[in-house]
Amino acid sequence: LQEQHNVKRTRQSPEALAETKLREKSKIDEYLALTDDVLSRKKKPDWSEDAFQLTQSLLQINPEFYTVWNYRRNILLNGIFPQSAPEEINSLLSNELSMTTAALKAHPKVYWIWNHRSWCLENVPDGPERNGIPSMEWRQANWDKELFVVERMLDADARNFHAWNYRRYVLANMPTRRNETSELTYTSRKIGANFSNFSAWHQRSKSLVVLWESGQLDPVQSKDEEFELVSNALYTDPDDQSAWIYHRWLIGSGGNKEQLEREIQVITELLQEQPDSKCKRPCWIIVSSTYCSTGSMESLVHYKRLLLQNHSPDSQALKQECVELLSRLMDLDPIRYFRYRDLSESLVRKRTDVLIF
């Protein structure tokens, strides 16, 4: 017996191993034969119902076979749709959506399944005419159902970025657009359930921009409310990077001095409560020339440097405060020692216009 991850394993006999290998070989042979059959039909090309059913069998085994997804769509466009009435096309596409819903339950992060769903939605017929005008009822019903499906996907995994990205696609292309404030409410619910849901914070930023640009929300007042929301998240878990990233997005380039000074004070108070707080997770990526980290101390340096750049370029006190914070970071976070050292040296040389992370 062998034990791994608290699971006991039984050594198989040579006969049992040989039987297992034989079964695996049989499955591989069947898969290869099916693949050869489908690809040979694609090459002809074969737009028949038989070929259509074979693509489904193959995709159930390997949903990442994007060539077969493309072939399946071509069979619909060239072989099945031309012989079908609009009602039948709508039914066929509904079946496709049902088939891919089942596939997503087992493979929620396969791009090609999501791509096929979007193609199906975009090819739904308008619907029966009402007073000589297409009713759009089939399109609306399918798009509404799609939003419901993606919400169930996010209930199962609230941080599935494929589902969040697809949700944005659905919201942007629905025949009847939803009010952006409803999406803000949705992100509030997701963030409230889990402050570390970066995708929900990102979705929130997208919704806010739309609401600000359309004049539906006052940017100044709503930003103050957003700072209050994100401050709750920061105090709950100061080491989680999602809220810090959102906080940096709200601050932006630091043009609002009053806002910048207020948030510096908030972070200073947080740092006093969590004196050794620093990121315990991998820092996020370099974007352009700006390196972003998540610790309260690093953010404090970043915001004080923005204050230096935009509002107090000659403040020796601010520069000294940054240097002292960077010195502490060198001790607390030796992995990034040289980055902190370079930032500190740039301050000493009064080059506050570079290396803002």
Per-residue pLDDT band at 6 (split at 50, 70, 90): low
pTM for the model stands at: 0.81
Residue 186 has pLDDT above 70, yes or no: yes
The per-residue pLDDT for range 13-53, each reduced to its tens digit, is 777 777 777 778 888 999 999 999 999 999 999 999 999 99
First to last CA, the chain: 53
Q: What is the dihedral of CA 45, 47, 49, 53, to 10 degrees?
A: 60
pLDDT at 286 over 70: no
Instruction: For the chain, give the number of residues.
Output: 357
Checking if the pLDDT of 145 tops 70, the result is yes
pLDDT reported for residue 272: 80
3-class DSSP state of 12? coil
Distances from the Cα of 163 to the Cα of 34, 246, 341, angstroms:
31, 20, 40
pLDDT in tens, 312-335: 888 899 999 999 999 999 988 889
pLDDT tens figures, 197-220: 999 999 999 999 999 999 999 999
What percentage of the chain has pLDDT greater than the value 70? 89
Average pLDDT, the chain: 87
Burial 30-43, CB ≥16 within 10 A → b, else e: eeeebbebbeebbe
Domain residue extents for the chain: 252-277+286-350
Q: Indicate the angle between helix axes 86-106 and 137-156, nearest 10 degrees.
A: 0
